[in-house]
């Protein structure tokens, strides 16, 4: 059986940050790389994807949760786009009446960027997101999340192991029930915990959640490991470490750090 490996490339929500106060948990925005044999699957293309170093002969797939800037801003700088004739498949749902390429073309084109995706040397193919499909032997299932204008939750499964990526998710009874069922018995649950419980009272409706709600969902889903992601942009390493001390539970619960690797 080939290794099922997830690497954290970008943990931050909303906007990239830098400096000594963000060196441990990371300042790059959302991007997670799943490697299984020859497959490299990127969950979102925030600024974290800039540091990715794809293997020369791997097959690259990018699964976008939605088109908000923090989840897309790294795409024009993804090194694989500069590699001549390299196949890259991008999957996303239709959002606000725009197909995936139409939405990306609004950002990656003049006057915001000097070229379009098709001007890169790589061969990029866009796909409207199915409910369920396969990337090689990896089964991909999707669930619509709770976020302004929508966001896709992904479950990637391979030979009995699975990871669920639930970023940009705001808790409510119906959405939490659906996510708990979707994530049932997963090995790794990545959950948006941008706000503290006190902060959330000020930011209801923004499309993000808290560690307390993530723990409830993970317990109901019987998830084996829970990783909190989409850290508030100005939350310092010290503050995140304090939160991790409060909510962390050995190997079962932690806050994502740039460079973390998980083997399932």
Express each pLDDT in 116-159 by its tens digit. 999 999 999 999 999 999 999 999 999 999 999 999 999 999 99
Burial 23-54 (b: 16+ CB within 10 A, else e): eebbbbbbbbbbbbeebbbbbbbbbbbbbbeb
Residues with Cβ within 8 Å of 98's Cβ and at least 6 positions away in sequence, in order, are 67, 106
Q: What is the pLDDT of residue 2?
A: 74
> What secondary structure, in 3-state letters, does 132-158 show?
EEEECCEEEEEEECCCCCCCEEEEEEE
pLDDT in tens, 174-184: 999 999 999 99
pLDDT beneath 50: ranges in the chain: none
Percent of the chain exceeding pLDDT 90 equals 97
- CATH homologous superfamily, domain 4-263: Ribonuclease Z/Hydroxyacylglutathione hydrolase-like (3.60.15.10)
Q: Give the Cα separation of 12 and 19 in Å (integer).
A: 13
């Amino acid at each position: 059986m080939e290794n099922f490996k997830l690497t954290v490339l970008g943990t931050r929500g909303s906007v990239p940050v830098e400096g000594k106060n963000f060196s441990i948990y990371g300042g790059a925005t959302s991007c997670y790389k799943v490697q299984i044999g020859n497959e490299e699957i990127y969950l979102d293309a925030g600024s974290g994807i800039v540091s990715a170093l794809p293997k020369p002969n791997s097959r690259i797939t990018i699964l976008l949760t939605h088109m908000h800037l923090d989840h897309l801003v790294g795409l024009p700088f993804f090194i694989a786009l500069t590699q001549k004739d390299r196949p890259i498949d991008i999957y996303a749902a239709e959002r606000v009446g725009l197909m995936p390429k139409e939405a990306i073309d609004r950002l990656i084109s003049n006057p915001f960027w000097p070229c379009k995706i098709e001007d890169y040397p790589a061969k990029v193919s866009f796909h409207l997101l199915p409910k369920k499909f396969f990337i090689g032997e990896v089964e991909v299932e999707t669930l619509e999340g709770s976020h302004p204008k929508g966001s896709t939750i992904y479950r990637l499964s391979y030979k009995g192991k699975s990871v669920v990526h639930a970023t940009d998710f705001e808790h409510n009874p119906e959405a939490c029930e659906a996510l708990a069922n979707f994530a049932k018995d997963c090995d790794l649950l990545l959950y948006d915990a941008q706000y503290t419980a006190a902060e959330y009272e000020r930011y209801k409706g923004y499309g993000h959640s808290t560690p307390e709600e993530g723990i409830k969902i993970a317990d109901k889903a019987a998830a084996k490991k829970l990783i909190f992601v989409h850290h508030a942009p100005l939350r310092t390493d010290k503050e995140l470490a304090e939160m991790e001390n409060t909510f962390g539970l050995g190997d079962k619960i932690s806050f994502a750090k740039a460079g973390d690797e998980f083997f399932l």
